[in-house]
Amino acid sequence: MNTDLFEGVIDVRPAQESMAEGAVLLRGFARSVEADLIAALRDTVEQAPFRHMLTPGGHQMSVAMTNCGSLGWVTDRSGYRYDRADPESGRPWPAMPASFRKLAEQAADRAGFRGFSPDACLINRYQPGARMSLHQDKDEDDFGAPIVSVSLGLPAIFLFGGLKRSDKSRRFRLEHGDTAVWGGPVRLAFHGVAPLADGEHALIGRKRINLTFRKAR
Ligand code: SIN
Ligand code: FE2
């Protein structure tokens, strides 16, 4: 089937979907600003290229990462942390583009988290086969602020679980523009991404990009 024929015609999915109490999926939320996001992304990645970081255990991550904003999330043999500088260049991370910030603030607002002001944006690049195992986002100082997570490019299966690793997780298909927001009672929920299926996205190519906005400090 040529799915291109149907792209952008009608989105039959509900505009909002609850993943759990305090966790919402805003379907297609980023699509109206996709051109601005892609231009800003290109500019950011030129200044701070994607790289495969090492986990504290010495494994190379299948997802390639970079950051923008005043703080960037990094991992290496010494652990997980936020850094003001890109360890590859020693320079500050690129500033958070205005289009990124505005989108994140509007998404948080729409999800009911008023006044979100992220200082960190982790940019994840998934090529076919790349995955993110179940984890909690807990390297931030302030769990009062939500997490805003924007998907661009190829679709992925997002796993959203509970507060314990052993809790059963639910699967959600995230498509280009979909934006997940979680906070409050589920701020520390385990979540992850199943191995990315191969494909080609008209705007992004053979990959998925995820922007994760957080207030780290
Ligand atoms: C993450 O949890 O850091 C990434 C989530 C995603 O790629 O959707
Ligand atoms: Fe995460």
CATH code, domain carrying 208 = 2.60.120.590
3-state percent helix, strand, coil for the chain, nearest multiple of 5:
15, 35, 50
Distance 58 CA to ligand 2 centre (A): 19
Encode pLDDT of 15-71 as tens digits: 999 999 999 999 999 999 999 999 999 999 999 999 999 999 999 999 999 999 999
Of all helices (H) and strands (E), which one includes residue 105?
A: helix 98-110
Whole-number pLDDT of residue 160:
98
Alpha-carbon gap, residue 65 to 49, rounded angstroms: 8
User: Over 80: is that where the pLDDT of 2 sits?
Assistant: no
For residue 168, how far is the Cα from the chain centroid?
21
Whole-number pLDDT of residue 152:
99
Query: Residue 125 sits in which domain range?
Result: 2-214
What is the rounded average pLDDT of the residues 145-153?
A: 98
Number of domains making up the chain: 1
Which band of pLDDT confidence, cut at 50, 70 and 90, is reported for residue 11?
Answer: confident
149 lines ligand 1 (CB under 6 A): yes
Mean pLDDT of all residues belonging to the chain: 96
Q: To test ligand 1's pocket by mutation, which of 61, 154, 191 has the most ligand atoms within 8 angstroms of CB? A: 191
Query: 3-class SS at 40?
Result: helix
Cβ–Cβ under 8 Å, residues 183 and 213? no
Q: Whose CA is nearest to atom 3 of ligand 1?
A: 212
Q: Whose CA is nearest to atom 2 of ligand 1?
A: 192
Encode pLDDT of 96-142 as tens digits: 999 999 999 999 999 999 999 999 999 999 999 999 999 999 999 98
